[in-house]
């Protein structure tokens, strides 16, 4: 489960009976918001979110949890438009999909990109 608190993304785990304490996932002076999480087939947790780290527009970031530690923040989508409302899922064939809303065309439209190798490389943004 994820929650946004004062622009910081936090994470808690649950077993059948109890929740863990919150863990802060982002550490910067920008707005981090709209988190979306999924558990991949290999057990890894992925979190994507929108962040205003440039002070000019929102971009899409992600990080992963391997059961022991979190990866560093990875900048996934960057352009001069506002990108927000990300979501993430994994298809049965292992492909990871990230979709989001972008204002890079005349109106807000949906874009996506995919990775077939657990985020090592990503496809170009596609409308």
**Per-residue pLDDT tens digits for 92-120:** 999 999 999 999 988 899 999 999 999 99
Percent of residues, the chain, with pLDDT higher than 70:
90
Given pLDDT bands bounded at 50, 70 and 90, which one contains residue 2?
Answer: very low
Whole-model pTM: value is: 0.86
**Per-residue pLDDT tens digits for 62-92:** 999 999 999 999 999 988 899 999 999 999 9
Residue spans of the domains in the chain: they are 32-115
Q: Which of 36, 34, 35, 38 is nearest to 89 (CA)?
A: 38
């Amino acid at each position: 489960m994820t929650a946004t608190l004062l622009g910081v993304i936090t994470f808690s785990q649950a077993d059948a009976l109890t929740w863990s304490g919150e863990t802060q996932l982002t550490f910067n002076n920008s707005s981090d918001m709209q988190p979306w999480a999924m558990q991949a087939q290999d057990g890894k947790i992925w979190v994507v979110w929108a962040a205003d780290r440039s002070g000019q527009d929102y971009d899409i970031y992600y990080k992963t949890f391997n059961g022991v530690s979190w990866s560093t923040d990875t900048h996934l989508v960057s352009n001069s438009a506002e990108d927000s409302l990300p979501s993430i899922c994994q298809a049965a064939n292992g492909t990871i999909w990230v979709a989001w809303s972008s204002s890079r065309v005349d109106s807000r439209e949906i874009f996506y990109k995919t990775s077939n190798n657990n985020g090592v490389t990503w496809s170009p943004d596609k409308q």
